[in-house]
Amino acid sequence: MVGPFNKGVVSGFTGRSSARQNIGADKIQAAAHLYASDFGDIKVVPNRFQRERTAFVLDPEYVSVAYLRRIHKKDLATIGDAERCFLQAEYTLCMKNEKAHGVIADLLTA
């Protein structure tokens, strides 16, 4: 998981210099989402809320969602013919093995 600037850097790797394809009349795709390395395929996911200098290396096999309170529906007051309700839940990210993940720090940002 990387910030927007470094996602652009990955999409601009030299192996992709001629890998452009037309999607529509006014769209061209020139982005890379998957990097094939010696250690397997690595999916590159942009995250606009994280620091540009840092890349997170996450193994989805060792991450899950843990519910503290499952999703349930609560009814609110009726106004006219409208029946109103809201959904409520509490959940968090569960790291099953902290040594399965990593961080790459101090990347270039410009």
pLDDT in tens, the chain (110 residues): 998 888 888 777 666 555 555 566 666 555 667 777 787 888 888 899 988 999 999 898 999 999 999 999 999 998 899 999 999 999 999 999 999 999 999 988 87
Q: Which residues on adjacent β-strands are paired with residue 28?
A: 22
- Note the pLDDT of residue 88: 95
Answering whether pTM is above 0.85, one says: no
Q: Which residues on adjacent β-strands are paired with residue 35?
A: 42
- Note the pLDDT of residue 43: 85
> How many angstroms separate the CA atoms of 3 and 51, rounded?
6
